[in-house]
Chains A and B, each alone.
Chain A
């Protein structure tokens, strides 16, 4: 199970990367893609949508189940990875290489409070 040290994580199985411009890229963890199985559908949010921390903003569906993807922090959706909607299976191939959407954090909404790799490892029972 891959857990890159340079990413932050949520208890709801998103990974979060702080980009150079201060926006946060959000994807699903390797643990999440493995639990879901073959992904066949991804629904991304509208660019410009304001979100609060913990709000369901995207949906991924595998052959067997649908799962909500949550916003790690409050802010505004500034970009979505539309290429994934045509090829959701890429997330199964490498979960950390494919972000789903980017959020520009509102004041105080930085990624510092999220889990680090060791903290997330405990969440999924690998600690």
Chain B
């Protein structure tokens, strides 16, 4: 039995094609996935991301706990509302999940984790909390729903749709959240465009979704979400990194703070682990196929593998993230095995697209 978000009936009424995503029945698209993609790059689109889980950590030791539990350093969070992207690591350095941590008050942090890993994450954090004898409360918030509103006109349309939201959120800088009434509004996202991620009580989400639609925000499915995040060069947990992967071989070194004296779960393992590979972007030259996960990549330094591949609607050609040997530099040409052919691809540094602009060639 698939789990459903509070917007399930709304998606069905809109004619969405529903699919199993991490045990949740979610909209893949409502019609043309390409048009949904372009709506986010050019105007405004919205995604039901209520399958993701907010977990509220509260208590006196909240910051100290996260300082140890997360690979990125929550001490970077000085102002209330500030957000931090981080990996949650295993003691052996493998990636349990990636998440966003929000600093609300010194005794109150909120983390948002992936749907398929949510139960595993909560069990792990609960055990870690018990092990550290911290008197921290960990509250999984399945009562909350989430909508990501993304695109160059996303903020303006959200302000039109939700009375009171403009005054409360107009001053928010990128990667900062504000709260008004029952709404938690973060200027974050997974598309490479400006916009908000809105966390709110499940009972209110249908009315807010309908108000956003009335303001001209286009409903978009997980299909467009995947092409948008890949163009934006953002990793997808479970594809671009897993428990078997070292974050330093997954394009995530910038989130792992090995140099400071701070100890954290996985640090000792990572400090001693060899780093032989890197996660890079690939741009398929020509239009003779589409890059897909698990295709073999042949480089001058050895073999690698595509971790995520798709057709980029913005570029009109195929792009990918791939894990390949260190030493292959941006600009190099590699070969990718697609069915019975070997096709040339150029190594590039992600992102491919940000804020509507193409950044690679």
Contact = CB atoms under 8 A, between A and B. Distances in A.
Interface in A47-75: 59, 61, 63-64, 66
A84 B313 CA distance: 18
Contacts of A63: 33-34, 223, 227, 310-311, 313
B292 A66 contact: yes
B288 to A, nearest CB: 8
Given A59-B339, A63-B310, A63-B311, A37 B292 contact: no
Interface in B284-328: 287-290, 292, 310-311, 313
A63 B313 CA distance: 9
A7 B17 CA distance: 27
Interface residues of B, number: 18
Contacts of B34: 38, 63, 89
B32 interface: yes
Nearest to B289: A41
Contacts of A61: 289-290, 311
Given A61-B290, A63-B223, A66-B290, A41 B311 contact: yes
B340 to A, nearest CB: 10
A43 B289 CA distance: 8
A38 B33 contact: yes
A66 B203 CA distance: 39
Interface in A65-117: 66, 85, 89, 92
Contact of B33 (A43, A64, A66): A64
A3 interface: no
Contacts of A66: 290, 292
Contacts of A121: none
Contacts of B50: none
Contacts of B287: 41, 85
Contacts of B313: 63
A63 B315 CA distance: 13
A87 to B, nearest CB: 11
B73 interface: no
A89 B28 CA distance: 19
A37 B311 contact: no
B114 interface: no
In this complex, the member of B223, B287, B290, B292 whose beta carbon has the largest number of chain A beta carbons within 10 angstroms is B290
A40 interface: yes
Contacts of A37: 17, 28-29, 32-33, 223
Nearest to A56: B339
B176 to A, nearest CB: 33
A38 to B, nearest CB: 5
A77 to B, nearest CB: 17
A53 B214 CA distance: 52
Given A61-B311, A63-B34, A41 B290 contact: yes
B25 to A, nearest CB: 17
B350 to A, nearest CB: 19
Contacts of A85: 287
28 contacts: A37-B17, A37-B28, A37-B32, A37-B33, A37-B223, A38-B32, A38-B33, A40-B290, A40-B311, A41-B287, A41-B289, A41-B290, A43-B288, A43-B289, A59-B339, A61-B289, A63-B34, A63-B223, A63-B310, A63-B311, A63-B313, A64-B28, A64-B33, A64-B223, A66-B290, A66-B292, A89-B34, A92-B32
Give me the 10 closest cross-chain CB pairs, A-B, nearest first: A40-B311, A38-B34, A61-B290, A63-B311, A37-B33, A41-B290, A63-B33, A38-B33, A38-B32, A64-B223
Interface of B: 17, 28-29, 32-34, 223, 226-227, 287-290, 292, 310-311, 313, 339
Given A41-B287, A59-B339, A61-B290, 18 more contacts: A37-B17, A37-B29, A37-B33, A38-B32, A38-B34, A40-B290, A41-B289, A43-B288, A43-B289, A63-B223, A63-B310, A63-B311, A64-B28, A64-B223, A64-B310, A85-B287, A89-B34, A92-B32
